[in-house]
Amino acid sequence: MISVPVAVAGGAYEVTVGEGLLAEAGARVRALAPAVRRVPVVTDRTVAALHLPHLLDGLAAAGLEGLPLLVPPGEAAKSFPELARLVDALLATGVSRSGLVLALGGGVVGDLAGFAAAIVKRGIPFVQIPTTLLAMVDSSVGGKTGINTAAGKNLVGAFHQPVAVWADPSLLATLPERERRAGYAEVVKYGLLGDSGFFGWLEAHGLAALAGDRAALGHAIATSVRAKAAIVARDPEERHDIRALLNLGHTFGHALEAECGYSDRLLHGEAVAIGMAQAFRFSAREGLCPPGDVARVEAHLAAAGLPVRLPLPAGRLLAHMLHDKKKTEAGLPFILVRGIGQAFVAHGVPLERVRAFLAADEGAA
Ligand SMILES: NC(=O)c1ccc[n+]([C@@H]2O[C@H](COP(=O)([O-])OP(=O)(O)OC[C@H]3O[C@@H](n4cnc5c(N)ncnc54)[C@H](O)[C@@H]3O)[C@@H](O)[C@H]2O)c1
Ligand SMILES: [Zn+2]
């Protein structure tokens, strides 16, 4: 078991990475909330069929009763109607502020259950039990929770830090390969944004981790969590230019996702892979980053089975970027790079240069 502390004001917590965490869930709940006997467990139907029985058994082993609350799988669950249903269901369990809610699932379950936990009785403690690679290395850590609205993704939500995160890599054995690869893009992101040594390690061992090598997978997840924890501790609510570094590849990526209608045509992690490659290509075009680093990034993403380009109309992508929630009065911030492991926030990048880059990128495909 690897334990990574996340130091945030008003409630430090630990991310535990290791196998067998579901079996230990009861003992761990008792340590966090000694008075609790009945524990709501939010999960989606797909994850419930695969992993819920093990979690319920783990709770029962410590004399606790898990109360499953099921949401539909997929992004559509992050909606006001599903939130309302979940909030009612949580209230019906009688859960109190001295209780605990468990969120078992990917980023969708974590974001929705975390937001429900944030607003029920003005805040119920909750534990993230991520079941996708993306959720283990990204969404379960850092306290961002929320839902989507007609105006866009993640526009309604709250910061509500979990009281613990239990990331068991063995749960990824059932995850479809495409989802695993997509989550891997966020792992690569940590190397690219601030840790060239980790990127070098991924070049050597990342494919083994992806293929399920337990030691490599555990190391990749723990290193990613450490990187995210360090950034979140320095800038918990994204008020400075620190947490924004986690958006490497995301301004370009969100535009691609929006253009694809947030459909199965392009998963989030796939969009991030292309977006990171674009951030490197754009940085090289601006004379900021050595072309050799661009080649390494593209080669590794491609070796991991991730896309590095998608030819879509430059004008439409730029229009999506201007609707991005991160648009500020000072203009669109872009996360650019001086090389592998050296990302920075660039304010006031002239949009004409971005447009020219996207047009050239479109043509180069
Ligand atoms: N809060 C944050 O900081 C943050 C960060 C990044 C992303 N997100 C959010 O995370 C969401 C995406 O998360 P995701 O990629 O985990 O998607 P997801 O939660 O939709 O899971 C992907 C699919 O895999 C299934 N699944 C989950 N675990 C499984 C397992 N172990 N075996 C088999 N199938 C499994 C799910 O049912 C779902 O169909 C987005 O809504 C995004 O906005 C949040
Ligand atoms: Zn992401």
For the chain, 365 residues long, give each residue's pLDDT as a single digit of tens.
999 999 998 789 999 999 999 999 999 999 999 999 999 999 999 999 999 999 999 999 999 999 999 999 999 999 999 999 999 999 999 999 999 999 999 999 999 999 999 999 999 999 999 999 999 999 999 999 999 999 888 999 999 999 999 999 999 999 999 999 999 999 999 999 999 999 999 999 999 999 999 999 999 999 999 999 999 999 988 888 899 999 999 999 999 999 998 889 999 999 999 999 999 999 999 999 999 999 999 999 999 999 999 999 999 999 999 876 556 555 678 999 999 999 999 998 998 999 999 999 987 75
What pLDDT, on a 0 to 100 scale, did the predictor assign at position 327? 61
Q: Which atom of ligand 1 approaches the CA of 111 most closely? A: 1
What pLDDT, on a 0 to 100 scale, did the predictor assign at position 362? 84
Helices (H), strands (E): how many in the chain?
Answer: 13, 11
Nearest CA-CA partner of 182 in 253, 127, 282: 253
CB atoms within 10 A of CB 201: 17
CATH of 178-213+221-364, one of 2.40.110.10, 1.10.357.10, 1.20.1090.10, 3.50.50.60: 1.20.1090.10
What pLDDT, on a 0 to 100 scale, did the predictor assign at position 2? 96
What's the rounded Cα separation, in Å, for the pair 196 and 78? 35
What pLDDT, on a 0 to 100 scale, did the predictor assign at position 328? 59
Which ligand sits nearest to residue 154's alpha carbon? Answer: 1
**Please, are residues 188 and 300 in contact by the beta-carbon 8 Å criterion?**
yes
Distance 262 CA to ligand 1 centre (A): 13
**Please, are residues 192 and 336 in contact by the beta-carbon 8 Å criterion?**
no
Q: Which atom of ligand 1 approaches the CA of 73 most closely? A: 37
Distance 350 CA to ligand 1 centre (A): 34
Q: What are the residue ranges spanned by the domains of the chain?
A: 2-174, 178-213+221-364
* Residue 129 phi, psi dihedral angles, 5° rounding: -120, 85
Distance 45 CA to ligand 2 centre (A): 23
**Domains 2-174 and 178-213+221-364 in one fold:** no
| Neighbour-count burial for 109-142, b at 16+ CB within 10 Å, e otherwise | bbbbbbbbbbbbeeebbbbbbbbbbbbbbbbbbb
Distance 108 CA to ligand 1 centre (A): 5
- 208: Cβ–Cβ under 8 A, 6 or more apart, which residues? 216
Which residues sit opposite 209 in a β-bridge?
none
Helices 351-364 and 314-323: angle between axes, nearest 10 degrees: 140
Q: What is the DSSP letter of 74?
A: S
DSSP for 193-253, written as a single string: HH-HHHHHHHHHHHHHHHTT-HHHHHHHHHHHHHHHHHHHHH-TTS-STTGGGGGTTHHHH
Q: Which residue has the CA at smallest separation from atom 11 of ligand 1?
A: 107
Q: Which residue has the CA at smallest separation from atom 21 of ligand 1?
A: 106
Residue 14: which H helix or E strand, with range?
Answer: strand 13-17
Q: What is the DSSP letter of 169?
A: G
Phi-psi region at 340: left, alpha or beta (left = phi > 0; alpha = psi -120 to 50):
beta
The answer to whether the CB of 6 is under 6 A from ligand 1 is no
The answer to whether the CB of 179 is under 6 A from ligand 1 is yes
β-pairing verdict for 65-71 and 38-44: parallel
Amino acid at 201: W
* CATH code that applies to domain 2-174: 3.40.50.1970
Q: Where are the beta strands (DSSP E) in 72-214?
A: 101-105, 126-130, 144-149, 152-159, 164-167
The answer to whether the CB of 142 is under 6 A from ligand 1 is yes
Residue 344: which H helix or E strand, with range?
Answer: strand 343-346
The answer to whether the CB of 111 is under 6 A from ligand 1 is yes
